[in-house]
Amino acid sequence: MTRFGKDFNTINRSKTTFRDPLKWKTPKIIFVNSWSDFFHPDVPLHWVDDAWDIMMEADHHIYLLLTKRANNIKDALPLAWHLAKPPEHIWIGVTVEEWEYSHRLVALEEIEASIKFVSIEPFLGPMPDLYSFFPSLDWVITGGESGPGCRKLPLSWVRNIRDQCVDYNIPFHHKQHGGTEKIDGTWGGRELDGVIWDEMPPNRVQNGNRG
């Protein structure tokens, strides 16, 4: 499948930007493999090892690793991860579009990480029992589907997740309502009942408080 000029059936490693985190002196929040999946089984292991090395060396950044392949996380973690406390600057999350895929949250529960999160995007079905995983979650992200043929996101689903997060004091980030029209820079807008929900877990690394 080709989209936005990219062949999504082929796994490539950037020849120009792969090592950029080592050059950036100002701390950034880096979404690793935003167009792919870091834990995809076809990613060569030496690429994965190289990426871990860069993340561990350039530890002034925050790295977000998001996957639909939660069962592959454990085997892909570097040996040092298992021998010491998980690094605070590497956050691991799973995509769960609807409750049918909540098994990914079960797999995430078994992973040791300083910050664990769930991305409910595209949000395709209600998740009234998400709170049952909150003991092992530090952050919740929601977002509607966008582009031609996108499915409309009932905001009642988003409100339900927001309310669960507020009740359990879990940081909540709503990315967009979704759709085909840009509003204030996002697809469908972001404002939910008069509020922009932009919460994140405490940034302990960039605040200079490494554990």
d(CA 109, CA 167): 21
Confidence of residue 106 (pLDDT cuts 50, 70, 90): very high
Element (H, E) at 15: none
pLDDT at 18: 80
> Which of 9-18, 51-60, 125-134, 141-150 comes out lowest in average pLDDT?
9-18
Q: Count up the domains in the chain and report the number.
A: 1
Structural domain including 121 reads 25-187
Average of per-residue pLDDT across 11-37 = 79
In a domain? residue 207? no
Enter the pTM of the model.
0.87
Concatenated DSSP letters of 69-103: -GGGHHHHS-HHHHHSPPPTTEEEEEE-SSGGGTH
Q: Is the model's pLDDT at 91 over the cut of 60?
A: yes
CATH of the domain at 130: 3.80.30
Q: Is the model's pLDDT at 120 over the cut of 60?
A: yes
Which of the pair, 10 or 136, is modelled with greater confidence? 136
pLDDT at 142: 98
Which of the pair, 82 or 183, is modelled with greater confidence? 183
Average of per-residue pLDDT across 90-98 = 97
For 74, residues 6+ apart whose C-beta sits below 8 A from its C-beta are: 110, 111
In a domain? residue 154? yes
Confidence of residue 40 (pLDDT cuts 50, 70, 90): confident
Confidence of residue 204 (pLDDT cuts 50, 70, 90): low
Q: Is the model's pLDDT at 192 over the cut of 90?
A: yes
Considering just the CA atoms, what is the radius of gyration of the chain in Å? Answer: 17
In a domain? residue 172? yes
- Over the range 93-122, which residues count as b (16 or more CB within 10 Å of their CB) and which as e? bbbbbeeebbebbebbeebebbbbbbbbbb
pLDDT at 49: 87
Q: Are 146 and 3 in contact (CB under 8 A)?
A: no
In a domain? residue 197? no
In a domain? residue 20? no
In a domain? residue 199? no
In a domain? residue 203? no
